[in-house]
Structure 1
Amino acid sequence: MSSENILEPLVDCIFDVAKVSKKLLYELLDIKEQFNIETFFKTVELKNKKDQYPKQIKIYSSDKGYIYLMSAPIGLGLSNFLKCKESLELQLRHKIDIRERKGYIEIEVITKELNYNIPYKLPIKEKTEGIKFPIGESLNEKVILDLKEDPHTYIVGTTGSGKSVCTKSILTSVSNLYGPGELELYLCDLKRVELNLFSKLKHTKKFVYTVEDTTEVIADLLEETNNRYDLFMKNNVTSIFEYNRLPGVKKLKYQILYVEEIVLLLEDKRKTAMKLLKQLIAISRASGCYVFLTTQRPSNDVIDNVVKANINNRIVFKCEDSKNSIVALDQEGADKLRGKGHGLIKRGSYIVEFQSFFITDQQVKELTRKYISNIKAVKEPYSGYKHLNNKVDSNKKEKPLKTNILEDLSFLDNI
């Protein structure tokens, strides 16, 4: 028997094992065997001037699905690959993420799906400075808001997108994790329907629902922020965290300003509220005052470059159209979300898809019942922003108080 006859079955066996191994790998990674990514790039003619195409280096699994590691021919960069993203998603029938890694291009195919129903559970308080709590889950981890690192937040979404439920989740978490001795809430409910569940909490120092009173609350917090900075300067510290670590001082409380539907602030023709609000978010980071803003329809009048520059957490649920998505997120995509808590959060240039927790009004009431105060945190009568102008009008006479006490007692002589 010749050596060729002996080797032939052995070679066939090796090829069969390799073929089966490849098939098992593809099934494990949920890859369609007929798809060849190198052929795809040749078809769309992604090449450099020397007619060099990207080559597949290897393929491996990831937390979200699997990754193609591709070479990048000289002259091609990340932007060239991103131009092919939508076409590649159509062919793979999955969303993909394209990024650069140490001179190579990673194309991550996301086969894992979000859990579309995540019931709210009261989080456990972490032993760290500042305010920190989860708002939902991404494909591989919880989405955490750390207000010490990223102090201010805006939440955007149409009716039914999950914005209101996310708001209730946030306020339920912070009120349970941080007691009235640590945290103060200032709630400005311009829609008059969203924040009422939290109006009677011991944490709640102000609950208002008009533009005028919202302006006053913002001005008060701005004044408090400036007072705190004066206090920091006297004690040679730069933040609330350093100040609260000083021996013998009365610890300052964290403050959260929550303004529901900020578009309504534009009703003030003088735009006093927006001017004060921009000042507050620009300087209050180190003072322990954190701002949350919500709106259904973002506009450039409200979410302008000044607001974007000072707001770190951009939570965006389903938007009406691509224009609103671009205003809120600086790119399209939010208009394609399915709603009901399906959102995107942008911090810096990094965008994460997530599903927010689902909480009912009944759960909110049960979890906050122990913090209900008998004293209502109602608004005080509108004072015309007395803190903005401390000058007293000497010509204005005070009206005497009306009482039920009788001043003329002469009728007693006739008894």
Structure 2
Amino acid sequence: MKKNILKTQLVILFILTLFSFISFYFGNDLPDNYFTITSDNSGNILSYYFFSLIKFGSYFSGPWVLIPFFVFSLCHTFIYDKREYMVDVLNFFPLVFFSGTVSFFFFHDALGIGLQYILKNAFTSLWLGIYTGVAFGLFLFGTFRGGFKECIIKAFNFTKAVPAKTIQIKQTLAAPFEKKKPVAQIEHDNSLRKRMDSILKDDKKKEEDKKESSLFASLNKIKPQNILKTKTTAEEVSVDEDDDIEDAVIKPQITRPTFDESNTVVKSSQENADALKTSDENNKQSEEAVEREPQVKKILVTAPLNRMADTSTDNQYFNIVDTATEATIEKVSNEPDKAYFEQIITLLESKLTEFKIEGEIVNVLKGPVVDTFEFRPGAGVKVSKIAGLADDLSLALYGAPIRVVPAMMGKDTVGVEVPRNPRDIIYLDEVLSSKEFQNAKYSLPIAMGKNAFGESFVIDLATCPHMLVAGATGAGKSVFINSLLVSLLVKKSPKKMKLILIDPKQLEMALYAKLPHLLMPVVTDAKTASIALLWACQEMDRRYGILADFGVRNISGFNEKLKRATPEMLAKIHHHYEDTTAEDYELPYIVIIVDEFADLVLTKAGKEIENNIARIAAKARAAGIHLVLATQRPSVDVITGVIKSNFPTRVAFRVSSRTDSSTILDKIGAERLLGKGDMLYKHGINTQRVHSSYVDEVEIEALTQKLEALDSGFDEKAMEFLENGGEVETDEYSYGSHITPASSSNSGDALYDEAVKVVMESRSASASMLQRRLRIGYNRAANLIEELEKRGVVGPAQGAKPRRVLVDGNSPTL
């Protein structure tokens, strides 16, 4: 329909053009019967009206119609006919109006007398000029669209560049009158200019290769079997179920997809598996899969637990995270020009030449906060001599706090890190949307930020296995802790990870108080912190018992083996889950974050906290418990050598002295950092510079408010442990050595016999279990437990472990 309208408009313009030429040039020779009264009967009706029409048209036409006809013909042939925009039919009207008004201003005689009269008397010259400009703009915008916008931008940029061009012309004109430079200086400038051209060209090529490789990587991820899957077997279902739901990374902004491939695959696989089980054509593989389902109920009295965590809750969790992290931030990058880098290279090389250090700067690695200039020393130049000139190089750059990297990994150059002014702000959302974070297969991925070269830097807390964070006040520790927590929340659901947060300041972690990941409320006092860490030690021992009975070495091996476990294998570890609130056998990771650790150690409970931290740091890695300690200065009186040796991963923000840097990293360098998230990351013996990402409190609050909908509650055993103040583990009684005689006084509680029955059936005892089974309050349940212990039915408390049942059903003490 659009093409038909355009063709009609073109035909109309052609007819008007032909008519205008005839009427304009031959109208004066024809009789004007419309305006002339005559009684002459020499003409017939046809000639009478035809000649009158032509004569009348000459008043409102003219050769000006040739201009819109010619322009519209070209646009129709090369532009309108090749696209499907219905709006193109409107371009006809501004073109005709613009052509007529321009002819009125510049080619007055090309218009008919009547049209001239209308334009002259109906409009003023000012408004007619404004309408002409508007019509011209509408025609250009409607015809060229994107090209028109680019032309406007180029014109604006050209206008901005006029002052610089003027200065350049002045310098060019004044050059012949200036004193000529020495030949050596001219050669040096030319060689520097050539090197800068090659450096910038290499950087541009690297960026293009990076974009191209990322495009091919994204295309290669699309597999045909994910697009069209015509047949699903039980074996395929089991493989899909084995895939970790956490591998389905949230595609956080800068743009995040609303589609989770791995979650969809799991769901469809489970539906197909159910269909295979209920159909009449069950194959052999599906029957074997059904036989492998754990039936713990046949072996034990208690109801069986699920083998793995329910993925439906995970799907709901990630849907909430997707909607809570949809905000994007447009980042404006201020890239320095070529002259900026040339000036720094000249200053650095000149200063090194003063100290008779031969060499040249061969490359510039651009980063968001610092730019690294690679200096290749000449033969016989000691690297230590270059490192010792850091203060002199800083003086050459007008006091900029530079840092010398003696040996760059994989290169034969020395790095000189120069701060960029102004520095770029690294938003956490930018790192979360990077392929390094999205494609990470880590157990506990953390988006640290970006390294000195502008690449996203992501680590796995599970391999650290514990992290020590230190730095002066205001250097960026709190923002880093927030980025760490948000990274974990984006990737890990409450089924996969639990948190224990200790915040003596009561302010930094208040936003996370209602997270479903918490095992207990945010701890704010030292005494409760010592009890919470003691519970973590008890949980560590319980997990080691589970791993030993299951025959695995770490938590990842346990969760992997759990997927193919038989009922007999599950029966071996079931007693570890009795009297717990666990719904499945899978063990989640536990991350303990302690802020202001120095403040806790200096309290009365400091010794207990220190001992528990030492135990966790030394042993808890295989059990899936990981520590993050944050403090201002980890001196010997705060962190002992035993604890410090178990923290191979350390993060140092800006400090005030070399001594503090040596205390944190065992080397200097942190005193030269820039602050505001600039840090040195040390893992093992390797140290690299990283710039922490920034996340606003408003974004954190929006995320946590969404996650409050998944209120899973605190862990009952952990809460009971905190309320009891922590129970000290004692030696178990020998079997039957403390049984009271049958003639002892009976319990006054009517539910005593029923409590005995419950304890004998479950073969374990605790106050929380009696609360649930007998539907009574905690105080009454605790009294029943004390009575059972007094009468010798159960043993004493064993910390977080359930009490041991010491008698059988035929004992006379019952």
2:458 is matched with which residue? 144
Whole-Å Cα distance in 2 between the matches of residues 34 and 168 of structure 1? 41
32-41 vs 124-133, greater mean Cα deviation: 32-41
Whole-Å Cα distance in 2 between the matches of residues 359 and 58 of structure 1? 36
28-37 vs 181-190, greater mean Cα deviation: 28-37
Whole-Å Cα distance in 2 between the matches of residues 284 and 71 of structure 1? 49
Shift of 1:385: 2.5
Shift of 1:69: 1.8
Q: Is the 8 A contact 2:472 2:656 kept in 1?
A: yes
> Structure 1 residues 339, 18: CA separation in 2 closer, same or farther (over 3 Å shift)?
closer
Q: Is the 8 A contact 1:98 1:105 kept in 2?
A: no
Q: Is the 8 A contact 1:137 1:355 kept in 2?
A: yes
Q: Is the 8 A contact 1:212 1:382 kept in 2?
A: no
Which aligned pairs between 1:90-239 and structure 2 lie closer than 5 A? 90-91=395-396, 94-99=402-407, 106-111=413-418, 113=420, 115-121=423-429, 122=432, 125-126=438-439, 128-140=441-453, 141-206=455-520, 207-239=522-554
Shift of 1:15: 9.8
Whole-Å Cα distance in 2 between the matches of residues 129 and 84 of structure 1? 41
> Structure 1 residues 375, 320: CA separation in 2 closer, same or farther (over 3 Å shift)?
farther
Shift of 1:345: 1.9
Whole-Å Cα distance in 2 between the matches of residues 200 and 36 of structure 1? 53
**Greater share of helix residues, 1 or 2?**
2
Shift of 1:256: 0.3
Amino acid at match of 2:391: E
Q: Is the 8 A contact 1:229 1:287 kept in 2?
A: yes
> Is residue 289 of structure 1 aligned with residue 625 of structure 2?
yes
Whole-Å Cα distance in 1 between the matches of residues 403 and 732 of structure 2? 61
Amino acid at match of 2:444: I
Taking structure 2 as the reference length, the TM-score comes to 0.41
> Structure 1 residues 137, 82: CA separation in 2 closer, same or farther (over 3 Å shift)?
same
2:576 is matched with which residue? none
Which aligned pairs between 1:9-408 and structure 2 lie closer than 5 A? 21-25=190-194, 27-28=196-197, 30-32=341-343, 37=349, 40=352, 44=355, 55-56=358-359, 59-62=362-365, 64-73=371-380, 78-91=383-396, 94-99=402-407, 106-111=413-418, 113=420, 115-121=423-429, 122=432, 125-126=438-439, 128-140=441-453, 141-206=455-520, 207-246=522-561, 247-248=564-565, 250-266=585-601, 267-268=603-604, 271-372=607-708, 373-374=710-711, 377=714, 381-389=722-730
> Structure 1 residues 331, 243: CA separation in 2 closer, same or farther (over 3 Å shift)?
same
1:173-231 superposed Cα distances (whole Å, 9 cap, x missing partner): 21221001100001111221111211211100122222121111111112222222232
Q: Number of matched residues?
A: 372
Give 3-state SS (helix, strand or coil) of 1:87's partner. Answer: helix
1:70-124 superposed Cα distances (whole Å, 9 cap, x missing partner): 2453xx754444333433443466543221789x962223357384422231555
Shift of 1:263: 1.0
Whole-Å Cα distance in 1 between the matches of residues 466 and 698 of structure 2? 28
1:406 is matched with which residue? none
> Structure 1 residues 58, 210: CA separation in 2 closer, same or farther (over 3 Å shift)?
closer
Whole-Å Cα distance in 2 between the matches of residues 16 and 179 of structure 1? 63
> Structure 1 residues 128, 327: CA separation in 2 closer, same or farther (over 3 Å shift)?
same
Whole-Å Cα distance in 2 between the matches of residues 84 and 337 of structure 1? 17
Whole-Å Cα distance in 2 between the matches of residues 34 and 338 of structure 1? 23
Whole-Å Cα distance in 2 between the matches of residues 391 and 214 of structure 1? 27
Q: Which runs of 5 or more residues in structure 1 are unaligned?
A: 1-13, 46-53, 395-399, 403-415
Q: Which runs of 5 or more residues in structure 2 are unaligned?
A: 1-182, 200-340, 571-584, 739-748, 750-778, 781-814
Whole-Å Cα distance in 1 between the matches of residues 635 and 390 of structure 2? 29
Whole-Å Cα distance in 1 between the matches of residues 511 and 629 of structure 2? 18
RMSD across aligned positions (CA): 3.6
Whole-Å Cα distance in 2 between the matches of residues 375 and 100 of structure 1? 48
> Structure 1 residues 182, 162: CA separation in 2 closer, same or farther (over 3 Å shift)?
same
Give 3-state SS (helix, strand or coil) of 2:485's partner. Answer: helix
1:274-300 superposed Cα distances (whole Å, 9 cap, x missing partner): 011011111112221110111234332
Identical positions, percent: 22
Amino acid at match of 1:181: K
> Structure 1 residues 388, 210: CA separation in 2 closer, same or farther (over 3 Å shift)?
farther
Give 3-state SS (helix, strand or coil) of 1:148's partner. Answer: helix
Amino acid at match of 2:586: K
